[in-house]
Structure 1
Amino acid sequence: MKKILIILLLMVLLGCQTQVVEEKKVVRESAIAGSWYPNSEEEINKTLSNYFNNVEDAGLENIKAIIVPHAGWRFSGRVAAAAFKQLVQHKKDYNTVLILGPSHTSSFDGASIPNATHYETPLGLVKVSDKTKQLLAEPLFNSYNEAHKKEHSIEIELPFLQYALSNFEIIPVLIGPRTTVDEINSIASTLKKYVDNNTLIVVSSDFTHYGPRYGYIPFTENVSDNIKFLDSLAIDRIKAKDAEGFAEFLSETGATICGRHAVLALLFMLQGEDITPQLISYDTSGNITGDYKNSVSYVSMVFTEPKKEPLTKDEQEFLLKLARDTLNYYYGLGEKPVIDESELSPNLKKIQGCFTTLNKNYNLRGCIGHILPQEELYKCVMDNVISAAVNDRRFLPVRADELDDIKIEISVLSVPEPLEFSSGEDLKNKLRPLVDGVVLRNGMRQSTYLPQVWEQLPDKELFLTSLCKKGGMREDCWKDTSTKVSTYQAFVFEEE
Structure 2
Amino acid sequence: MMTTIRPAAVAGMFYPSDPAELAHQIQAMLMQAQTEAPSLVPKALIAPHAGYIYSGPVAASAYTLLAAQAGKIRRVILLGPTHRVAVRGLALPGADAFETPLGRVDIDLDAARLIAHMPQVTVSPQAHALEHSLEVQLPFLQTLLPDFKLLPLAVGMVAPEDVAEVLEALWGGPETLIVISSDLSHYLPYASAKRIDGETADAILHFREPISHEQACGGTPVNGLMLAARRHGMTPHLLDLRNSGDTAGDKNRVVGYAAFAFTEDDAADRQPARGKGEVLLALARNAITQNFGLPVKPVDQADWLNEPGATFVTLMQHGELRGCMGSLEIHRSLRDDVQFNAVAAALRDPRFPPLAEDEVAITHVEVSLLSPQQPIHFSDEADALAQLRPHIDGVVFEYGRYRSTFLPQVWEQLPQPRQFMAHLKRKAGLPQNFWSPDVKLYRYTVEKWKEYKDG
Question: TM-score, structure 1 length as denominator?
Answer: 0.52
- In structure 2, the partner of 1:111 is 90
SS of alignment partner, residue 61 of structure 2: helix
| In the alignment, structure 1 residue 209 sits paired with structure 2 residue 190 | no
| In the alignment, structure 1 residue 192 sits paired with structure 2 residue 177 | no
Distance 2:72 2:26 in 1: 21
SS of alignment partner, residue 153 of structure 1: helix
| In the alignment, structure 1 residue 83 sits paired with structure 2 residue 62 | yes
Structure showing the higher helix proportion among its residues: 1
Deviation at 1:279, TM superposition (A): 0.8
SS of alignment partner, residue 221 of structure 2: helix
Distance 2:249 2:162 in 1: 42
Equivalent of 2:21, from 24, 27, 43? 43
Over aligned residues, Cα RMSD in angstroms? 1.9
Instruction: Give the counterpart letter for 1:208 in structure 2.
Output: S
SS of alignment partner, residue 132 of structure 1: helix
Q: Does the 8 A contact of 1:62 with 1:307 survive in 2? A: no
Bigger radius of gyration among the two: 1
- In structure 1, the partner of 2:71 is 92
Deviation at 1:175, TM superposition (A): 0.9
Q: Does the 8 A contact of 2:238 with 2:260 survive in 1? A: yes
Task: Map Cα deviations across residues 376-395 of structure 1 (whole Å, 9 max, x no partner).
Answer: xxxxxxxxxxxxxxxxxxxx
SS of alignment partner, residue 83 of structure 1: helix
What aligned pairs does 1:444-463 form with structure 2 within 5 A after superposition? none
Q: Does the 8 A contact of 2:190 with 2:252 survive in 1? A: no
Equivalent of 2:230, from 268, 271, 288? 271
- In structure 2, the partner of 1:136 is 116
**Gap change, CA 1:196 and 1:290, over 3 Å in 2:** closer
Structure 1 unmatched ranges of 5 or more: 1-22, 212-222, 311-496
Deviation at 1:187, TM superposition (A): 2.9
Deviation at 1:308, TM superposition (A): 4.1
Question: TM-score, structure 2 length as denominator?
Answer: 0.56
- In structure 2, the partner of 1:426 is none
- In structure 2, the partner of 1:301 is 260
Distance 1:38 1:119 in 2: 17
Distance 1:266 1:185 in 2: 9
What aligned pairs does 1:55-454 form with structure 2 within 5 A after superposition? 55=33, 56=35, 58-130=37-109, 131-176=111-156, 178-179=157-158, 183-197=159-173, 198-211=175-188, 223-242=189-208, 246-247=209-210, 250=212, 255-289=214-248, 291-309=250-268
**Gap change, CA 1:293 and 1:59, over 3 Å in 2:** closer
Task: Map Cα deviations across residues 102-125 of structure 1 (whole Å, 9 max, x no partner).
Answer: 000011221101010000011111
Instruction: Give the counterpart letter for 2:254 in structure 1.
Output: S
Deviation at 1:225, TM superposition (A): 2.8
Distance 1:184 1:171 in 2: 18
Distance 1:194 1:236 in 2: 27
Q: Does the 8 A contact of 1:60 with 1:304 survive in 2? A: no
Q: Does the 8 A contact of 1:100 with 1:172 survive in 2? A: yes
Distance 2:248 2:29 in 1: 18
Structure 2 unmatched ranges of 5 or more: 270-455
Q: Does the 8 A contact of 2:41 with 2:65 survive in 1? A: no
**Gap change, CA 1:140 and 1:191, over 3 Å in 2:** same
SS of alignment partner, residue 106 of structure 1: coil
Instruction: Give the counterpart letter for 1:232 in structure 2.
Output: G
Distance 2:135 2:113 in 1: 20
